[in-house]
């Protein structure tokens, strides 16, 4: 794991954008795993602007999102499909049909889960997977549990996740309680992974996930076992991790943070 720490959200998002522009441009075809949530919003904005300026093209890119809610229509403003269209797909030159999200409303959920894993496999697997980090350590919607789920599956969302997601809905009753998500096995099969986290509220879970024991109760901890993970953090999210990693060759401080007293 490599840890890169930035002064703020903007420079972290810019670094992520530059990384993706280089990654996409260096390949003829490319399969990206994508995430939603607040964390990647500015990154997507910068990536879409880069595409507008002709610095990167999505015409040979295929994407698979991590997850989607169950029980709300795909046309709902808060569906992850709507999020992705708003923040990326409608703003870049990705061909129609080259982006995929799991179907949260499939009449046969088991077949939908299996079909999603098969589609990823048929595309050649994910080259670069983007992840956010839930306050409870979830990645995708793999919530803390007693085991690591392997493939795409339907999940009952944790009460803390429902609470965190409620900021996007009018009332608590409107917040979806179930979702369909890639499994930990699917995520761990990605060639490379980029994790992003910002804000002081994530500092505790960032430290636990990346320096604590690998346990399914902290799903993101499994990433310690992957051989190519880049963790991008603003200094607030890194506040508890940096002291634990001081002197570690895997830690890179950007934006003149070397003198910052973490
Ligand atoms: C979103 C997803 C989630 C989020 C996580 C962090 O597709 O899979 O795991 O990445 O809940 O969300 P934010 O960025 O809103 O803090």
* Among 117, 127, 143, 236, the one annotated catalytic: 143
**Is 67 a pocket residue for ligand 1 (Cβ < 6 Å)?**
yes
Per-residue model confidence as pLDDT tens digits over 99-152 = 999 999 999 999 999 999 999 999 999 999 999 999 999 999 999 999 999 999
pLDDT for 261 beyond 90: no
- Separation in Å, CA 217 to CA 57, 130, 163, 232: 39, 21, 19, 22
**Is 104 a pocket residue for ligand 1 (Cβ < 6 Å)?**
no
* 56 CA from centroid of ligand 1 (Å): 25
Q: Average per-residue pLDDT in the chain?
A: 96
- Ligand 1 atom with the smallest distance to the CA of 199 is 16
Report the share of the chain in percent with pLDDT over 90.
Answer: 91
- Ligand 1 atom with the smallest distance to the CA of 202 is 16
Q: What DSSP string describes the chain?
A: -EEEEESSHHHHHHHHHHHHHHHHHT-SSEEEEE--SSTTHHHHHHHHHHHHTTS---TTEEEEESEEESSS-TTSTTSHHHHHHHHTGGGS-PPTTSEE---TT-SSHHHHHHHHHHHHHHTT--SEEEE---TTS-BTTB-S-SS---S-EEEEPPHHHHHHHGGGSSSGGGS-SEEEE--HHHHHTSSEEEEEE-SGGGHHHHHHHHHS---TTSGGGGGGG-S-EEEEEETTTTTTHHHHHTT-TTEEE-TTGGG---
- Ligand 1 atom with the smallest distance to the CA of 67 is 7
**Is 66 a pocket residue for ligand 1 (Cβ < 6 Å)?**
yes
Of the listed ranges 58-67, 70-79, 188-197, 210-219, the least confidently predicted one is 70-79
* 140 CA from centroid of ligand 1 (Å): 7
Nearest to 101 by CA among 113, 86, 111, 93: 113
Per-residue model confidence as pLDDT tens digits over 56-100 = 999 999 999 999 999 999 899 999 999 999 999 999 999 999 999
For atom 1 of ligand 1, which residue has the closest CA? 36
Q: pTM, whole model, 2 decimals?
A: 0.96
């Amino acid at each position: 794991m490599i840890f890169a720490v930035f002064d703020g959200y903007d420079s972290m998002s810019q670094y992520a954008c530059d990384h993706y522009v280089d990654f996409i441009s260096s390949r003829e075809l490319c399969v990206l795993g994508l995430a939603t949530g607040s964390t990647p919003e500015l990154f997507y904005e910068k990536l879409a602007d880069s595409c507008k300026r002709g610095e990167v093209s999505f015409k040979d890119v295929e994407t698979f999102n991590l997850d989607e809610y169950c029980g709300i229509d795909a046309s709902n403003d808060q569906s992850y499909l709507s999020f992705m269209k708003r923040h990326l797909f409608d703003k870049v030159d990705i061909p129609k049909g080259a982006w995929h999200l799991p179907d949260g409303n499939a009449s046969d959920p088991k077949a939908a889960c299996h079909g999603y894993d098969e589609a990823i496999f048929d595309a050649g697997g994910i080259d670069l997977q983007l992840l956010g980090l839930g306050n409870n350590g979830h990645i995708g919607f793999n919530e803390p549990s007693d085991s690591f789920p392997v493939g795409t599956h339907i999940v009952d969302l944790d009460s803390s996740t429902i609470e965190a997601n409620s900021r996007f809905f009018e009332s608590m009753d409107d917040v979806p309680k179930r979702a369909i998500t890639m499994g930990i096995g699917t995520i761990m099969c990605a060639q490379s992974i980029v994790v992003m986290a910002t804000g002081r509220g994530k500092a505790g879970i960032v430290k636990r996930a990346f320096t604590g024991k690998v346990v399914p109760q902290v799903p993101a901890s499994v990433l310690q076992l992957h051989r190519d993970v880049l963790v991008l953090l603003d200094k607030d999210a890194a506040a508890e991790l940096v002291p634990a990693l001081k002197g570690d060759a895997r830690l890179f401080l950007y934006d003149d943070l070397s003198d910052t007293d973490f």
